[in-house]
Structure 1
Amino acid sequence: MTAAKKLPIFDVIAGLSIAGLLLPEAVAYSNMVGLPPQSGLVALVLGLVLYGLIGNSRFAIVSATSSSAAVMSSGLATMVMFSSPERTGLAYALVFLSGILLVIAGLFKLGDVTHFIAKPVLKGFSFGLALSIVVKQLPSVLQVHPVHSDFFRQLWEMLQAYSSWNWHALSMGLGVFFTLHFTQRYKTIPVALLLIILGISFNVMGYTQAWGVRSVGHFELVLPSIHLPQLSMNSWLQLVELSMAVALIIYAESYASIRTSALKHHDAIQPNRDLIALGVSNICSGLFKGMAVGAGYSATSANESAGAKSKKSAWVAALAVVIFLLFFRQYIANIPEPVLAGIVIYAVSGHIRFAPFKQYFIWHKDRLLSIVAIWAVIIFGVLNGLLIAVLVSVLMLLKSYAVPRIAWLGRLNGGHDFVDINRFPEAIAPEAILIARPDHPLFFANAEKICHAILKKVSEQNYQYVILNLEECPSLDSTSIEALLLLAEHLQEEGIELKLARVRRSVAETLLYVNSPLFPRSSYDAQSVDDAVSQLENRTSAST
């Protein structure tokens, strides 16, 4: 039998396994956001089908994820109460706007925007987000009704309500969690679905009612009309701000999942195409009253582990979900809340690990970033926490670049290589020539400091020439241009000539636009430091 004939079999097996995993998660994430179960199920079907038609990855499973559900829940909490009837309309509008932003980002080829978020920030954010999700699921596990929704007060309130805990519900939630944990190696077995069926059986037999354990409740599956919610202009403006966070989280998580599987199997990555696919999926999900969707890491990894070979596995999973909704949806109402909460807690528990942060403490790098991201999410919420963590990472980057680090170069072993004299003491600086190489690109925060450091170095010894190596500088902003002009002017007053080396094309084009007599073309035509030194030494020898 050829590989082509075997291929659908593997995709069918993987698709059925994924359907068993995603069905309970879709219902659980709907419950997390405060939406009817139909929202998660509609989003699941649309995400599986639409991404399969438009997206690039053959392993990506696009559905509601814990991260996007948590961001939606936290963001909507800033606008309306959890039980407010306006919440559903705001949620669907938020999903729609997030999809619009993703499509726009794809059309403008912003697929690499997630590279601006440092990995320590993403890891810290995931850790803090997972902790927040666990705390928000505890009321369902303990069957208590906390008044506050912020992390610390909600946790303290539940601890104080110790005497009101429902121990049957707690046992049920812990049983689900540990069963999933100890059976995680069996990727092809839909353990979560089997636990759901077991929970439904307890409900049908009357045990959960006798124990005082709440269930999901009935819902009607109707084909929703395609229209946007009627919201005020102020609500739309607030949702635009929230949608940026939702879109960013969706793509950050999806890109990590897609990239990981693609690198493992040497598949091509098309981030902008995936942005558009995710955007279209969320636009349609919002219009059809579904949740936000993305390529979750756990579902994508499970699809790959189950033996999927192509996008057909996602379509098989979508078909299985539709069949379940048509013929077995009445059983969803009987799912006990602690069972769903246990599934959600297990789904995010993989992010609550200290191992990923160990390397940052060993390297003495980015420890503060990860710690700030964790506490920012816990203290300020998902949206504000992410923005604060990203802002801190950018500020730390600017701070590191703002400190002028300049290497003073010398010739190594009489050859053509010029290296840092401080690192290689045997290197010899050319006579009467100062060679400076900034270790960071010149920009508004460090340009003046770098130029001032060069002038200070010049004042310590008699130099006839200064060579500025700009190999680390991909472009020049206006502040850098003005600083270089002032440097050249001061050196000219001292009778010292400034020459630029290793100038990139974009920098050379900028200097052409500047068109200053301080920087004629001959001042930056040297392709290397050795060329610049040779030109100056030849000129000196010719004049003597």
Structure 2
Amino acid sequence: MRRVLPAWLAGYQRAWLRPDVVAGLVVWSVVVPQCVAYAQIAGLPPQAGLMAAPGALIAYAFLGTSRSLVVSATTATSALSAAVVGPLAGGDVAKFAVLSAALALLTGVVLLVGGFLRLGVISDFVSVPVMTGFLFGLGLTIIVGQFPKAMGLKDGTGNFFPRLWDVVSSIGDAHALTVLVGACSVLALVALARTPVPATLGVLVISIAVSAVFDLSAHGVDVIGKIPSALPDPAWPSITGDEFTTLLPAAFGVLILSTEAVGVARSLATIHGYRVDPNRDLSAMGASNVLAGLSSGFVQSGGASQTAAADRAGGQSQLATLITAALVLLTGAFLAPVFKDLPQATLAAIVIVAVTSFLRVGELRRFARVRRSAIVLALLALLGVLTLGVLSGLIVTAAISLVVVIQHISRPPVVVLEQDPLVLRVEGGLFYANAVSVKDHVLALAPPGTTITLNLSSSYDLDVESLDMLGELAAVVDLRLTRVRPRAAEMLARAGLADRVVHERQLLR
């Protein structure tokens, strides 16, 4: 039975119950406003966020390995969803909802397969400066997209710069009362963030009350309006083959964005003295997206702010997440009508304040101070999002990270251990991608006919290209190989290079 139950439940301790209940309440106070607000980023009505969250929370609670990670709507995945679905929907609201759910379902399949193929290590290949730059650009794009709602302006179109121009050129048409509501909401969020009161929930309650009492909608302030019950609505999102082809790259994009969630889970696990399995967590987030997609929701991922709230509240296990899921279900069933007087400007303010965490100026300064190439990579990713859009910017981000990885593994340093006789060591495993680079480096250090001892301690195996390279070196210099691993020695024997292998005692002679 213990093998069937998740690890946290199999070893649950009674002392965890109180902190888990408290954490569940705290996370609910964060998740509900975010579900409503981030549905807006995804281009969907508020109820979509409440419908998607319960299944996502429950799936990760039972399948994930982090005790604290909260999987629900996030700014990055919501923005990516809107960027991909918008052009396909063509203004059809119903089609937009179906495509958003289909993207969540497709993302779930990609993440499930990614976990099965052990692609959790992808988080190790995404450069921190590159992801920081991408999130910075994404934050600016989202903020500019929310300005029209916060100011009572007509929504703009295009990427960052066209939208920014639309806001600047029409700022004279801003609705004064809407601007006041938006500005007051921002100030309240900032002020409440310094108190024990959940800021987003507090601002939601205050703004709904003020809007209802003063009938702000009658004075030109746009409000959400009546929304139906927000319980999960099981449905299979039907799409065409062309739509499937268009959505698939975005699903892989979420796989890249999931590295942030994996990083958050790892960090908290390290702090609290346990380990997580990135591959299983990918699969767990995949299951979360499958349930979100089948519940007429949209793409979900591990949220840093929600997870931080759970950790700060003292949550000890995923029971806190299950409590949150139950409370979200109750909210969708009985409290959805309460949101009808919520000003759109307040929702925009919640989004704007939330994504300011992406604008990590201090990190960019640190990159510039520590390593110039890091700030260049960050700025390239940032500009990629601003000029090309969210999905294309994410592709640029992935490409830059891939180039960085390839550059490092294909150009391993060759260090000189001794000058006479010349002893060299390759700082990295030899394989086909770096064989030519290593050969050129060695020949630059040693003229033809020189006796060279090459330390292969970093090479656990050798492929055809690296064996050919060693054979080419042996034809030019007097090549000796030392510190050879067993598997590499076997490959050298097959290639007829076994006579080049020497041992330390032979070198001492």
Structure 2 length-normalised TM: 0.91
1:165 aligns with 2:174: yes
Which of residues 488, 492, 499 is equivalent to 1:511? 492
Alignment-derived partner of residue 506 in structure 2: 535
Q: 1:195 aligns with which of 196, 203, 212?
A: 203
Using the aligned pairs only, state the percent identity: 29
Structure 1 residues 381-440: Cα deviation after superposition (integer angstroms, max 9, x where no partner):
122112212212332443455557432322xxxxxxxxxx5xxxxxxx23xxx3222334
Q: 1:141 aligns with which of 144, 150, 158?
A: 150
Please list, as runs of the form range in 1=range in 2, the aligned pairs for 1:258-337 lying within 5 A after superposition. 258-337=265-344
* 1:231-270 to 2 correspondences below 5 Å: 231-249=239-257, 251-270=258-277
SS in structure 1 of the partner of residue 424 of structure 2: strand
Instruction: Determine if contact 1:114/1:252 at 8 Å carries over to the other structure.
Output: yes
User: C-alpha offsets along residues 34-59 of structure 1, whole Å, 9 cap, x if unaligned?
Assistant: 22222211221112222112212111
Give CA deviations for 1:289-348 in whole Å, capped at 9, x if unaligned: 112112211110011112222222112222222222222211122211011111111111
Q: Helix, strand or coil: the match of 1:112?
A: helix
1:111 match: secondary structure: helix
Is 1:484 matched with 2:480?
no
Q: 1:467 corresponds to which letter in structure 2?
A: T
- 2:68 corresponds to 1:59: yes
Change (3 A) 1:485 1:227: farther
> Please, which of 417, 428, 439 is the counterpart of residue 409 of structure 1?
417
Structure-to-structure mapping, 1:350-429, within 5 angstroms: 350-365=357-372, 366-399=374-407, 402=410, 405-410=413-418, 429=420
For 1:318 and 1:449, locate their aligned partners in 2 and report how far apart those are by CA, in whole Å.
54
Amino acid at match of 1:197: V
Amino acid paired to 2:495: S
Corresponding residue of 1:499: 480
**Paired residue type of 1:204:** A
C-alpha separation between the residues in 2 aligned to 1:266 and 1:35? 40
| 1:175-194 mapped onto 2 (5 Å cutoff) | 175-187=184-196, 189-194=197-202
Q: Would you say the 8 A contact 1:99–1:247 is kept in 2?
A: no
The change in CA–CA distance for 1:469 and 1:87 in structure 2 (over 3 A counts) is same
Q: CA contact under 8 A between 1:18 and 1:190: conserved in structure 2?
A: no
Residue matched to 1:439: 427
Following superposition, the deviation at residue 206 of structure 1 comes to 4.2
Q: Secondary structure at the match of 2:89?
A: coil
CA distance in 2, matches of 1:508, 1:175: 71
**Aligned ranges 1:20-169 → 2 under 5 Å:** 20-81=29-90, 83-169=92-178
How far, CA to CA, are the matches of 2:91 and 2:487 in structure 1?
A: 53
CA distance in 2, matches of 1:220, 1:386: 35
Distance 1:38-1:483 versus aligned 2 partners, 3 A rule: same
- Is 2:501 aligned against 1:524? yes
Secondary structure of 1:79 counterpart: helix
- For the residues of structure 2 that align with 1:211 and 1:478, how far apart are their CA atoms? 76
Superposed CA RMSD in Å reads 2.3
CA contact (8 A) 2:152 2:221 kept: yes
Distance 1:89 1:67 in 2: 20
Q: Give the partner amino acid of 2:436.
A: E
Q: CA deviation at 1:456?
A: 5.0
Q: Is the 8 A contact 1:34 1:83 kept in 2?
A: no
Q: Would the aligned equivalents of 1:59 and 1:303 in 2 still touch at CA under 8 Å?
A: yes
3-state SS of paired residue (1:85) = helix
SS of residue matched to 1:238: helix
Equivalent of 1:16 in 9, 21, 25? 25
Q: How far apart in 1 are the matches of 2:481 and 2:414?
A: 15
Name the structure where helix makes up a greater proportion of residues: 2
Change (3 A) 1:10 1:275: same
Shift of 1:128: 1.0
2:5 aligned partner: none
Q: Distance in 2 between matches of 1:393 and 1:280?
A: 27
Q: 1:247 offset after TM fit, Å?
A: 2.8
Contact 1:10 1:308 in 2 (8 A): yes
Question: Match of 2:482, as an amino acid?
Answer: A
Paired residue secondary structure (2:120): coil
Q: Secondary structure at the match of 1:70?
A: helix
CA shift, 1:161, in A, is 0.6
Spell out the pairing of 1:329-348 with structure 2 (5 A cutoff): 329-348=336-355
Cα drift, residue 85 of structure 1: 3.5
Higher relative contact order (CA 8 A, sep 6+): 2
Displacement of 1:253 after TM fit?
2.2
1:105-140 per-position Cα deviation (integer Å, ceiling 9, x unaligned): 111222111111111111111111111111111111
Q: CA deviation at 1:216?
A: 1.4
Change (3 A) 1:456 1:242: closer
Unpaired runs of at least 5, structure 1: 411-420, 422-428, 539-544
8 Å CA contact retained: 1:256, 1:297: no
CA separation of 1:73/1:225 partners in 2, compared to 1, >3 Å: closer, same or farther? closer
Change (3 A) 1:402 1:280: closer
Aligned length: 497
State the 1:97 CA deviation: 0.7
Matched residue type, 1:439: E
Distance verdict in 2 for CA 1:14–1:364, change over 3 Å: same
Structure 2: 5+ residue stretches without partners: 1-11
In 2, Cα distance between equivalents of 1:344 and 1:481 = 56
TM-score with structure 1 setting the length: 0.85
Structure 1 contact 141–173 (Cα < 8 Å) conserved? yes
How big is each residue's C-alpha offset from its partner over 1:481-521, in whole Å with a ceiling of 9 and x where there is no partner? 32222222333xxxx3x221222344334334xx222x02x
8 Å CA contact 1:253, 1:294 repeated in 2: no
